[in-house]
Each structure stands twice: as structure tokens, then as C-alpha cells.
Amino acid sequence: GPKVLQIPSHQIIDMGQMVTLNCDPVSNHLYFYWYKQILGQQMEFLVNFYNGKVMEKSKLFKDQFSVERPDGSYFTLKIQPTALEDSAVYFCASSSGLGESETLYFGSGTRLTVL
């Protein structure tokens, strides 16, 4: 089936530095999402993105976070600067459209460890 790729599976970074998480969504998908899961807690919605713009973001999407998809390549989540509480697994997802008939396809996640 369709695959969303997230590489690498694990990133370790020092607090205060910048990190960019990369997501290769399903080709021809137009809607993109990031979710965050802190160890032992639920996966939570961060942001969704369409046509170069953020459609909706949650309160977890701090000012230090930004997303983009330059030139139709990777969909990225940038955190600058990172904080200890940003340590979590970040899941990317994509879909071809919006609505009940659409299915979100998820990547296997990038585990971010902030030291």
C-alpha cells in the first residue's frame, strides 16, 4: 500500500539547537500532518498543511515550530530552538483530500531525543 517515509527513525540533539524532521509523503497527496507522542501518552495532533499553508494547529504547536514543503519535496517540521519537553516521537501523515472518505497514511515516526 501507499507509504509515508520518515528518515531517520531516531535523532538526538542538544537542547537549544535546531532540528528538522523530514517526511516523504505519499506521492500525489496534497494534505500533510504532524502528530506528537510523548512516551506513555497519547498521540496528539500538532498541525495540518495544504497548498503551502498551515490550515489548523493545536496548542502544542509552539512558536518554535514551523512546517513547510518546499518545491513539493519533503514535508518538514523544524524546531528552533529545541527544548527538553520536545523529546517525543513525531509522526507524519498525508492524505489525498479532506473528509470522511479520506484515509490518513502515517509514517513509522521519528524519535527525537533532546539532551
Residues that bind another protein (CB under 8 A): 1, 3-4, 6, 31, 33, 35, 41-45, 48, 55-56, 91, 93, 95, 98-100, 102-109
Minimum Å gap between C-beta 106 and another protein is 4
Cα–Cα distance measured from residue 83 to residue 13, given in angstroms and rounded to the nearest whole number: 10
Identity of the residue, 3 or 83, whose beta carbon is nearer to another protein in the bound complex? 3
Q: Edge to edge, what strands does the sheet with 65-68 contain?
A: 5-7, 19-24, 75-79, 65-68
Judged by CB, which is closer to another protein: 48, or 82? 48
Q: Cβ 85 to another protein, closest distance in Å?
A: 19
48 sits in the region (left: phi over 0; alpha: psi -120 to 50; else beta) called: beta
Q: Which is nearer to another protein, 21 or 82 (CB)?
A: 21
User: Which residues partner with 92 through β-bridges?
Assistant: 34
CA 100 from centroid of its chain's CA atoms:
22
CB of 18 to another protein, least distance (A): 25
What is d(CA 49, CA 69) in angstroms, rounded to the nearest whole number? Answer: 9
Residue with smaller CB distance to another protein, 46 or 114? 46
